[in-house]
Amino acid sequence: MPSAITGNVAGLVLQATQSDAFSQIQDDVLLSSSLWVNIALAGASILLFVYMGRNVTSTRARMIWGATLMIPLVSISSYLGLASGLTVGFIEMPTGHALAGEEVMSQWGRYLTWALSTPMILVALGTLADVDRSSLLTVVAADIGMCVTGLAAALVTSSLAFRWLFYVVSCAFFVVVLYALLTEWPAAAKQAGTDEIFGTLRVLTVVLWLGYPIIWALGVEGLALVQSVGVTSWGYSALDVFAKYVFAFLLLRWVAANEDTVATPGAGAAAGATPADD
């Protein structure tokens, strides 16, 4: 049957990319170590965080704990996808790019899973600061927009200009997130009495998150000043370790020790005439 043969060809061609990526990653110690170190740390974090949250009972504290526990669970899924070659592809860079005409490995799965994991970080931070729902929703929507346009920037091969146009739009979404983290949310955290830990986590998040667009710009996908896929991958992986597991550990340790502070409704809720979540 000729149509079945065509189907087989399509299947084989598509799956060849996955197997290629898988074996290429396995043969590159620098690259594969950048993935496996995160699989190991995410796995350890899951077990640790379940243990740390065992005595948390109040609603708001459990919400923070639940959102935080999702971070390493999404992360381990993300890195398994990369290491298996499932969410990795080969991109032929457009004319004008430093690696134009070459096939460059693209870890596009990173952008996709950041669209799931970074909202969890923002939900945890926002709940800690007891921000109102409207602000949290807008910031999470902007954050998802940032990741999705980052994915587009990585996948465009038709034109160099469009790669950087998507980069600029992604940064515009990032500015919305930064604005909330730097101006609105600190005020809410102060009212909620969680400003000390919020301040620490905010600095950690803002500084580390600024690293991602910088690595994109300098690495193989951007200006290619760093031309090694392994080094670029380690850049992202190292940021993930601190922005995800260390962040989550600091947050959970504080919540477990200060449950009373987050157990009571934030000052914003008590002061206003309407419920805090209206």
Min CB(226)–a second copy separation in Å: 22
Compute the least distance from the CB of residue 8 to a second copy, in Å.
6
Closest C-alpha among 259, 135, 256, 254 to residue 200: 254
Nearest approach in angstroms of CB 198 to a second copy is: 18
For CA atoms 232, 233, 236, 242, the dihedral sign is negative
Q: State the nearest-atom distance from the C-beta of 83 to a second copy, in Å.
A: 7
Tell me if 82 sits within 8 A of 34, measured CB to CB. no
- 115 belongs to the binding site for a second copy (CB under 8 A): no
Window 161-190: residues binding a second copy (CB under 8 A): 162, 165-166, 169, 172-173, 176
Taking Cα atoms as reference points, which of 218, 271, 211, 258 lies closest to residue 237? 211
- The answer to whether residue 44 forms part of the interface with a second copy (CB under 8 A) is no
Q: Which stretch binds a second copy (CB under 8 A): 120-128, 211-219, 234-242, 245-253?
A: 120-128
Of 31, 52, 128, 152, which one interacts with a second copy (CB under 8 A)? 152
Beta-strand relationship, 89-92 and 103-106: antiparallel
Give dist(CA 87, CA 18) in Å, integer.
Answer: 8
Q: Which stretch binds a second copy (CB under 8 A): 115-123, 202-210, 219-227, 253-261?
A: 115-123
Residues 6+ apart with CB under 8 A from 53: 62, 65, 68, 69, 252, 256
Binding mask 56-75 for a second copy (x = CB under 8 A): ---xx-xx--xx-xx--xx-
Q: Is residue 126 involved in binding a second copy (CB under 8 A)?
A: no
Burial of 99 (0-12, 13-18, 19+ CB in 10 A): middle
Helix, strand, coil distribution of the chain in percent, nearest 5: 75, 5, 20
Counting contacts by CB under 8 A, is residue 33 touching a second copy?
Answer: no
In the stretch 91-110, what mask flags binding to a second copy with x, by CB under 8 A? xx----------x-------
- Burial class of residue 11, CB neighbours in 10 A (0-12, 13-18, 19+): exposed
Q: Supply the minimum distance, in Å, between the C-beta of residue 69 and a second copy.
A: 8
Q: Which is nearer to a second copy, 44 or 203 (CB)?
A: 44
Verify binding: residue 32, a second copy, rule CB under 8 A.
no
Nearest to a second copy of 164, 249 (CB atom): 164
Specify the stretch interacting with a second copy by CB under 8 A; choose among 156-164, 204-212, 215-223, 226-234. Answer: 156-164
Q: Which of residues 242-271 bind a second copy (CB under 8 A)?
A: 265, 269
Token duo for residue 253: 């340790």
Q: Which tokens belong to 245? A: 């597991």
Q: What is the 3-state secondary structure (H, E, C) of 61-81?
A: HHHHHHHHHHHHHHHHHHHHH
Distance, in Å, from the CA atom of 174 to the CA atom of 223, rounded to the nearest integer, reads 20
Among residues 96, 98, 134, 199, which is the contact residue for a second copy, using CB under 8 A? 134
Stretch that binds a second copy, among 142-150, 199-207, 233-241, 243-251 (CB under 8 A): 142-150
